[in-house]
């Protein structure tokens, strides 16, 4: 357990938590299918990966079933009935980061529980009850699990925000000692600034790798879900606790919002890349459409002959990303509210038309690139998990709370964190959200609308109809470009999924007009060559404390008759945190 790349012929599970992956593996071994395994892994992640695994957030599933069906389920959060377009603008009509990210208003109606239960009911093997599937998650919440150093460091880092919330303090702050009390007093009497207070608190190491995190309220919520399905969350005691939390903290979510919530099966976005079928998530995710658009453009080039991460390769990627993200800002939003031009964006002809706007000799300025005319938005706060079984089912789920630990607010008595997904809407036309993404009308806030996402769970099927890869990522706007580079590595450069994931990446997204790169991605010479092509670099922030930061990908790859699972070490401090099967 815990090594990076074991393989076998039974199936594969990959997630950010070794404990959660092991749960999925156990269900595969006990005769479950990939859907049983992924739902069991998902509920366990809500316990063992608190920064991003969740009950209080939302996500997407993309799958290819053993019968050849492509499936996608949208269980994205939804704007509450009381929400309105300008709700995150302050008295000066400026976007308020505090309101959009750290308030109870920042939470959309959670979709994860509805989604996971629906997947289990509709696609599970029928060999297990929901109570059986959720028993391991309940066990780890009730009896505790030993935290990783990544979780220990995250919990300490966010102390100042947890301390603003009673529920979060109870679970995630280990001890309110004299140092903390002293800092709180200093903040109150004004002898320390808010920024210095947060910095000083973050320096206090309380949690250690291996500490036991017990979450009793969460265990009780999970038990209600296990017994009553979705109703155990959207109705009854859990719903009452959510409403109480909202009412006492000026949140918008009502009882009716909870009762109205339902996940939606949507047409997955499909395309081809060098003869392979690519199936990914459509709106309200931008991921699938942008991925296929970029693959369509790249297909026109002999990538295999291009040296990986050479200036020519990175130039092409950057230009293609620029074109696709320009389209994202204008054209994409919740399909129930906005006519997304998916056929256009994913057509091979449109890809060629867009390519005519760029040159291989010089970088285009993003201000010169507009969106195409239609005929008619980490830190890694998201998490992706993938399962393949040996019956032919291939599944990927990406879920998110938006930022790390969501809004850092726990529903009192229910033990789970609330998302701050409302920031994925475009709060003010042309103004960047937490991921630097801008948007306009297509992604403006409206009641019952779902915010545009970058989550890109993706499945690739070879030209003989055999599933070869299920992959996805965490990392906000960097998700799509990470999945893109992994697919290129697997198909064009014939790497296995672990090699593909390990390969250093670059990222750009139209605006801001710059190119980011990971440690070791580019040589100094390549950087000089790209600068000569007029590329602008974002050198800072690409590597934090020596840790890679351009998205975190997980997936399973069927290659040479075995399942190879890929785990991304970016953002983790433990060498063996993830498990593969």
Catalytic residue positions, numbered: 382
CB of 349 to ligand GLY, least distance (A): 28
CB of 322 to ligand GLY, least distance (A): 19
Site for ligand GLY contains 51 (CB under 6 A): no
Dihedral angle over CA of 129, 1, 222, 144, nearest 10 = 140
Site for ligand GLY contains 424 (CB under 6 A): yes
- Please give the size of the binding site for ligand GLY, defined by CB under 6 A: 9
CB 291 within 8 A of CB 484: yes
Burial 406-416 (b: 16+ CB within 10 A, else e): bbbbbbbbbbb
- Quick note: the x/- pattern for ligand GLY over 116-155, rule CB under 6 A, is ----------------------------------------
- Is the Cα torsion angle 20, 23, 28, 29 positive or negative in sign? positive
Where are any strands of DSSP class E within 178-224? 212-213
- Among 19, 54, 366, 453, which residue interacts with ligand GLY (rule: CB under 6 A)? 453
CB of 287 to ligand GLY, least distance (A): 8
Nearer to ligand GLY, 377 or 505 (CB): 377
Tracing tokens 């007029």 back to the chain, one arrives at 534
| CA atoms within 13 A of residue 309's CA, in its CB half-sphere | 21
Site for ligand GLY contains 276 (CB under 6 A): no
CB 17 within 8 A of CB 32: no
Give the C-alpha distances (Å, rounded to integers) separating 277 from 34, 54, 347, 424: 20, 31, 14, 29
Nearer to ligand GLY, 106 or 220 (CB): 106
Question: Three-state secondary structure along 270-281?
Answer: EEEECCEEEEEC
- Among 48, 114, 400, 508, which residue interacts with ligand GLY (rule: CB under 6 A)? 400
Give the C-alpha distances (Å, rounded to integers) separating 192 from 161, 164, 187: 16, 17, 5
* Residues 52-71 close enough to bind ligand GLY by CB under 6 A: none
CB of 398 to ligand GLY, least distance (A): 8
Nearer to ligand GLY, 439 or 566 (CB): 439
Nearer to ligand GLY, 24 or 283 (CB): 283
Site for ligand GLY contains 454 (CB under 6 A): yes
Angle at 303 between CA 301 and CA 307, to 5 degrees: 135
CB of 450 to ligand GLY, least distance (A): 10
Nearer to ligand GLY, 103 or 453 (CB): 453
Site for ligand GLY contains 402 (CB under 6 A): yes
- What phi and psi values does residue 143 have, to the nearest 5 degrees? -100, -10
CB of 382 to ligand GLY, least distance (A): 6
Which range touches ligand GLY (CB under 6 A), out of 83-91, 450-458, 492-500, 565-573? 450-458
Q: Which residues are registered as beta bridge partners of 384?
A: 398
- Among 187, 264, 388, 455, which residue interacts with ligand GLY (rule: CB under 6 A)? 455
3-state secondary structure of 399: strand
Which range touches ligand GLY (CB under 6 A), out of 97-105, 219-227, 348-356, 447-455? 447-455
Query: Residue 132 has which token pair?
Result: 């059986």
Nearer to ligand GLY, 160 or 400 (CB): 400
- Among 215, 379, 382, 485, which residue interacts with ligand GLY (rule: CB under 6 A)? 382
- Among 115, 232, 396, 476, which residue interacts with ligand GLY (rule: CB under 6 A)? 476
The helix or strand, by DSSP H or E, that contains position 11, with its residue range, turns out to be strand 11-14
| CA atoms within 13 A of residue 378's CA, in its CB half-sphere | 31
Which single residue brings its beta carbon nearest to ligand GLY? 453
Mention every residue, 6+ apart, whose C-beta is less than 8 A from residue 391: 33, 34, 66
Rounded Cα distance between 147 and 154, Å, is 11
Nearer to ligand GLY, 393 or 398 (CB): 398
CB of 453 to ligand GLY, least distance (A): 3
CB of 302 to ligand GLY, least distance (A): 32
Is residue 450 left, alpha or beta, with left meaning phi > 0 and alpha meaning psi from -120 to 50? beta
Site for ligand GLY contains 50 (CB under 6 A): no
Binding residues for ligand GLY, rule: CB under 6 A, are 382, 400, 402, 421, 424, 453-455, 476
């Amino acid at each position: 357990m815990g090594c990076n790349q074991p393989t076998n012929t039974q199936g594969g599970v990959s997630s950010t938590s070794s404990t959660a992956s092991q749960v999925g593996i156990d269900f595969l071994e006990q005769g479950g299918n990939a859907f049983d395994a992924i739902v069991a892994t998902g509920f366990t992640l809500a316990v063992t990966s608190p920064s991003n695994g969740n009950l209080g957030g939302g996500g997407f599933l993309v799958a290819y079933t053993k019968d050849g069906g492509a499936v996608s389920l949208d269980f994205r959060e939804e704007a509450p009935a009381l929400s309105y377009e300008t709700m995150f603008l302050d008295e000066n009509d400026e976007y308020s980061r505090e309101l959009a990210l750290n308030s109870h208003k920042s939470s959309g109606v959670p979709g994860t529980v509805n989604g996971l239960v629906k997947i289990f009911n509709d696609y599970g093997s029928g060999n297990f009850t929901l109570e059986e599937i959720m028993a391991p998650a309940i066990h780890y919440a009730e009896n505790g699990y030993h935290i990783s150093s990544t979780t220990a460091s995250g919990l300490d880092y966010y102390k100042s925000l947890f301390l603003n919330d009673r529920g979060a303090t109870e679970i995630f702050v280990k001890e309110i000692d004299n140092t903390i009390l002293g800092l709180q007093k200093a903040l109150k009497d004004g002898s320390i600034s808010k920024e210095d207070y947060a910095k000083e608190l973050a320096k206090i190491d309380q949690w250690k790798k291996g500490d036991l995190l017990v979450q009793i309220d969460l265990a009780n919520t999970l038990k209600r879900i296990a017994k009553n399905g979705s109703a155990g969350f959207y109705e009854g005691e859990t719903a009452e606790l959510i409403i109480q939390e909202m009412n006492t903290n000026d949140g918008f979510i009502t009882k009716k919002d909870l009762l109205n919530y339902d996940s939606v099966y949507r047409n997955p976005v499909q395309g081809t890349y060098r003869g392979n079928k690519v199936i990914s998530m459509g709106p309200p995710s931008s991921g699938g459409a942008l991925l296929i658009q970029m693959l369509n453009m790249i297909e026109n080039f002999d990538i295999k002959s291009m040296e990986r991460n050479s200036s020519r390769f990175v130039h092409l990627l950057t230009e293609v990303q620029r074109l696709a993200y320009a389209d994202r800002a204008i054209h994409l939003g919740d399909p129930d509210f906005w006519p997304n031009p998916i056929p256009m964006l994913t057509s091979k002809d449109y890809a060629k038309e867009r390519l005519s706007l760029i040159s291989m000799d010089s970088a285009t300025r993003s201000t010169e690139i507009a969106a195409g005319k239609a005929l008619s938005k980490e830190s890694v706060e998201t998490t992706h998990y993938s399962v393949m079984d040996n019956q032919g089912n291939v599944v990927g789920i990406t879920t998110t709370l938006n930022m790390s630990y969501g809004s850092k607010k726990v529903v009192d008595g229910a033990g789970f964190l609330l998302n701050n997904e409302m920031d994925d809407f475009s709060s003010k036309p042309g103004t960047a959200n937490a991921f630097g993404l801008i948007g306009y009308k297509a992604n403006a806030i409206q009641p019952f609308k779902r915010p545009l996402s970058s989550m890109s769970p993706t499945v690739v099927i070879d030209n003989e109809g055999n599933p070869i890869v299920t992959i996805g990522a965490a990392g906000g706007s960097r998700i799509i470009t990470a999945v893109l580079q992994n697919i290129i590595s697997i198909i064009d450069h014939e790497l296995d999924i672990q090699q593909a994931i390990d390969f250093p990446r670059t990222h750009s997204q139209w605006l801001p007009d710059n190119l980011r790169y990971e440690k070791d991605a580019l040589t100094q010479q390549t950087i000089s060559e790209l600068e000569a092509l007029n590329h602008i670099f974002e050198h800072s922030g690409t590597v934090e404390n020596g840790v890679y930061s351009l998205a975190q990908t997980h997936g399973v790859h069927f290659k040479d008759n075995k399942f190879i699972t890929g785990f991304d070490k970016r953002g983790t401090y433990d060498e063996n945190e993830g498990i593969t099967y």
